[in-house]
Structure 1
Amino acid sequence: MGSAAESQGIQMVRPASIVDGVHDSIYERIMSLEIAPGARIPVDVVARDLGVSQTPVREALSRLEREGLVRKAHLIGYSAAPQLSRKAFEDLFAFRLLLEPECARIATQNLTPDSLQELEEAAADMGHGEAPVDRNSRYSRFARADAHFHDAILKIAGNEVIRQAFADQHVHLHLFRLMFHSRVTQEALEEHENLLAAFRAGDGARAQAAMHEHISRSRDRLMLAFE
């Protein structure tokens, strides 16, 4: 027999969806710098603000900790991860320039109609996707969609060691958190289209050059965060 709520046609919200909602809310605040790097994130305050119990807040913060956006310290609790230092930023881009252009070249050789379609859809998700709730929401979603697009290229290239190394670094989330600006997203879309054109043409050298240019320009855009 169903509950009274079910008999009245009321749809019950599953705990997982509550955690997802709390996670997305905190994530967007961190990515837009509404929660500043290093700032404490009190569980009770977040729970009160969002109108939920502390349990889904703790679960959401644990997920964000695994993504590298939140840190937990004994007797202190949760706080937003510190921003990348300039040295870490430069090291990260040196790492990317060493690997991603070559992975783009190899991915071109491995492309199938299905994997090319996957890249097309990932790129389209960045340009369109779900209607954003607000500017913060759009920027945060773009960061995740961008990470998915680059991961799809690494997956097609087929080197799981490189792919896992990028996943462990949470590259795109930390880079997008450096600067909250529409220029970052618009120019990236144009550069991704250049990459897709090379993939469609099956031109590995062109894909390699397009990826190198994209990463170099991304570095130049985000470098402004340190000025």
Structure 2
Amino acid sequence: MAERNTKISKVDAIYGLILDKIQSRELLPGDRLNIEDLARDFGVSRTPVRETVNRLIQEGFVEQKHNVGPSVVQLSDEQAQDLIEANAALGGLVFDSFGYLKDLQGLQSALQEVMTMQLTASECGDDRRFHEASVGFHKVLIEHCTNPIIRDYAMKTQNQINMCNFAYMATKENHQQSLKAHSEVNEAVQNGELKKARKLMERHNKFEGTIFFQGKKRNL
């Protein structure tokens, strides 16, 4: 059991280090992730690095190209725009599915917990934990989607869009906008006002979308 826990902690640690490299732009979109080089840099065997890279691929941060190997995901402007549009549309479907929940207690509790984490991270100035909580907020909503097909597509899209969120969260203004938007959505959900929460979340997703394209926007 101790060996298994050590293995998990190594993967988690390497995962955090690679995400830090992406967030700090030390690793740029398109940069290759060489397993052997990373293992040497982190002073570990190739196994936990390989597991970490597989996790990053599953979460949409890294892509595996044929005959090239793993690399940081690189999206064209059009691909990023399409991704934002898909995310906004799927987000609406996720909220529509909440009407089939027997009650909202599970969703309300989980959303409040991650909202508290985001608020605490903001007060402490912990940007990494703030980002994790911000991503977690979106994922809590998706995880409570009652339609498994919509849930799977929405989660995949959210994982891919997290690459954009790194740049989005780099400025304090956008940092505070995210906190404000999530607080408003959470309050509406806690009050059982799902239609209001849906509109607020749609506005939030579209606002984030306009940040990424800087003059290359199209109507969302």
Q: Which TM-score band (shorter chain)?
A: 0.7 to 0.9
The number of residue pairs the alignment matches comes to 213
Aligned partner of 1:38 among 27, 30, 35:
30
1:94 aligned partner:
85
Any conservation in 1 of the 2:60–2:160 contact (CA below 8 Å)? no
**Distance of aligned partners of 1:109 and 1:70 in 2 relative to their CA distance in 1, 3 Å threshold:** closer
Asked which structure has the greater CA Rg, the reply is 1
**Farther off after superposition, 157-166 or 103-112:** 103-112
Quote the offset at 1:159 in angstroms: 1.7
Partner of 1:204: 194
Q: Give the TM-score normalised by structure 2.
A: 0.80
CA apart distance, 1:139: 4.1
1:32–1:139 Cα contact (<8 Å) kept = no
Call closer, same or farther: CA 1:151–1:76 in 2, change over 3 Å: closer
Unmatched 5+ residue regions in structure 1? 1-5
Separation in 2, partners of 1:221, 1:16: 35
Aligned to 1:79, what secondary structure does the other structure show? strand
1:64 is displaced (CA, Å) by 1.5
* Larger relative contact order (Cα-Cα within 8 Å, sequence gap ≥ 6): 1
Do the aligned partners of residues 74 and 99 (structure 1) sit closer, same or farther apart at CA in structure 2, a change above 3 Å counting? closer
1:176 aligns with 2:168: no
What is the identity percentage for the equivalent residue pairs of Structure 1 and Structure 2?
Answer: 24
CA distance in 2 between partners of 1:130 and 1:215 (Å) = 20
Say whether residues 1:221 and 2:211 are aligned partners.
Answer: yes
Q: Check the 8 A contact 1:122/1:148 in 2, yes or no.
A: yes
The letter of the residue matching 1:89 is: A
For residues 26 and 14 of structure 2, what CA distance do their matches in structure 1 show?
A: 15
**Long gaps (5+) in structure 2:** none
Superposed displacement of residue 174, structure 1: 2.4
Secondary structure in 2 matching 1:28: helix
Q: What letter matches 1:29 in structure 2?
A: K
Report if the CA contact (8 A) 2:61-2:160 is conserved.
no
Structure 2 residue 22 is the aligned partner of structure 1 residue 27: no
CA distance in 1, matches of 2:123, 2:13: 16
Instruction: State the match for 2:42 in structure 1.
Output: 50
CA root-mean-square deviation: 3.1
The one-letter code sitting in structure 1 at the alignment partner of 2:28 is A
Which residue number in structure 2 is paired with residue 61 of structure 1?
Answer: 53
Alignment of 1:127-138 (within 5 A): 127-129=119-121, 138=126
Cα separation, 2, equivalents of 1:75 and 1:153: 37
